[in-house]
Copies of this chain bind each other. A is one copy, B any other.
Amino acid sequence: MGLPGNLKVAVVGATGAVGTEMLRILEARAFPVDELVPLASARSAGRTIRFDGREVAIRELSLEALRGADLSLSAAGASIARGFVREAAAAGTVCIDKSSAFRMEPDVPLVVPEVNPEALEGSPKIIAVPNCTTIVAMMALAPLHRAAGLRSMVLSSYQAVSGAGRDGTRELAEQVEKLHDQVEELGRPDLDALPVGDVFGKTMAFNVLPKIDSFAEDGSTGEEIKTVNESRKILGIFDLDVVATCVRVPVPVGHSVSVLARFSRAITPGEARSLLEEAPGVELRDDPANGVYPSPLEAAGRDEVLVGRIRQAPDHDDALLLFACGDNLRKGAALNGIQIAEHMFSTG
């Protein structure tokens, strides 16, 4: 695969948790950036970030600042994305957007390059990066789906605090700092004086919170609705029987999913392991006899989604259980976006 050597690349939200990963991954993969335009809020404008050995000034996000960019990699939130993506795309910039703003738009492909690269045909100008949990689940399930036809999925997640951005990690770190002596001395935090922060609304340290994003009318959270809808769109199975429960855990980096998947035909753990061993972007970690199974800290900093704990559901030869972990900032966000860009600008 060849890439042209003269791309003007904007990174929107360049100072955030995902934006920082984008810069590091662009460098590491030697993406052909001729001119980097790091964009952020007015608050960060004027500061510099280091890229490829140079200091580059951060500018405030605007259509003017994006003018002439071949590519915009955006890690900003949905409301910010709504304010510039359609216009920038109309002006000719390929906009790869991590926010939820455009994911379900019929004219916007929602892409995990290893799963549905065909959605990139026809040179779309806006491409949405799926939700981080969905990406991890799809990386594990798509190779099995291609072989055996996914019929249903029951998913419970274990999601890192960095999914809520740098503030999420900061809030966890502050609460851990406050409570860890109590855990050491009393075996638990002082339950009468639990700290509550702005990001998570309840104590996040030493706790799990079954709420990510806001609640919808039916009692689901935004995150759960995204996981359901995006899984259907990525796989192209619009009536896929899928339920999700999304839970935040006190882990800094690395999203995990516990999945029960049913297929259209019988499939054994052995066949699933063979399929996943061959799947690009997946690393099989499934050797229970030798204590090999995935965990989120092992996936952190890695490109691959780790998959293990593959088991037959008892009495169901068409159903498998599995556990998958991925770096939510990398494959769950920044890396997936840059892989899309590599596909889009490939000259090969």
Name A's B-contacting residues (CB within 8 A). 17, 154, 156, 158, 162, 166, 169-170, 172-174, 176-177, 180, 183-184, 187-189, 191, 194, 201-203, 206-211, 215, 218-220, 228, 241, 243, 245, 247, 249-254, 256, 258, 260, 269, 286, 288-289, 291, 293-298, 300-301, 308-315, 321, 323
Residue among A169, A188, A249, A253 having the largest count of chain B Cβ atoms under 10 Å: A188
- The 24 sampled A-B contact pairs (Cβ below 8 Å) are A154-B154, A156-B156, A158-B158, A170-B184, A173-B183, A173-B184, A174-B184, A176-B180, A177-B184, A188-B252, A188-B253, A202-B297, A207-B254, A207-B295, A208-B249, A209-B295, A210-B293, A210-B323, A215-B291, A218-B311, A219-B269, A220-B311, A241-B315, A250-B251
Chain B residues whose C-beta falls within 8 Å of the C-beta of A250 in the assembled complex: 206, 249-251
Kindly list the 4 A-B residue pairs having the minimum CB-CB distance in the complex, ordered from nearest: A156-B156, A215-B288, A156-B258, A173-B184
Contact (Cβ within 8 A) B172 A296: no
Chain B residues whose C-beta falls within 8 Å of the C-beta of A158 in the assembled complex: 158, 208, 247, 249
Q: Complex Cα distance A301/B209, Å?
A: 18
Q: Complex Cα distance A291/B311, Å?
A: 36
Asked if A253 meets B289 with Cβ closer than 8 Å, knowing A202-B295, A210-B258, A258-B210, the reply is: no
Asked if A169 meets B183 with Cβ closer than 8 Å, knowing A208-B295, A249-B208, the reply is: yes
